[in-house]
Amino acid sequence: MSQAYTSTLMRLLAGFAVLLCISLSLQGAAQAASDKIHYTPDQIRDLGFEIAHELRCPMSVNQNLFDSGAPIASELKGQIFLMLEQGESKAEIIDFLVQRYGEKIRYQPSFSGATAILWFGPILLLIGIVGFAAVFIREQRKPVNTKANTYE
């Protein structure tokens, strides 16, 4: 093969690869736009209430969004229902609210290095108490050495 032929073939292959990449990226963008979930009105209501029960109100002490009467709770419930109508999933809505208000908005914090003590602390404490009790009971059951006070 001549060098000109090889060079032309390489350019054609490179051009084809670029067109393929552009085509795949446009297809992926179109698919991402159509990945929105279409809920029925009953599903929106049920899922909205479920999310509102799972999240804390940022203003009310120890109340979820559903039970809180604070103005911010009403705004957040409206935001939840709006996002559901736009086709967002439950996980996307919760992630959005966690990014906006922090991890404290969840009743059950997600697992991370900072929350590991919350997840494993009670188990480790229980293991420590059982271990301490076992050692204490074993020490109490040891026989007392009576030969130390006798004279031979």
φ, ψ for residue 106, nearest 5 deg: -85, 145
58-74 in b/e burial notation, b at 16+ Cβ within 10 A?
beeeeebbbebeeeebe
Query: 126 by DSSP, 3-state: which?
Result: helix
For residue 17, give both structure tokens.
């690869």
Give the global pTM. 0.55
Extract the tokens encoding 110: 């997600």
* Percentage with pLDDT > 90 across the chain: 38
Say how far apart CA 148 and CA 152 lie, in whole Å: 11
Q: What is the pLDDT of residues 84-108, one digit of tens each?
A: 999 999 999 999 999 999 888 887 7
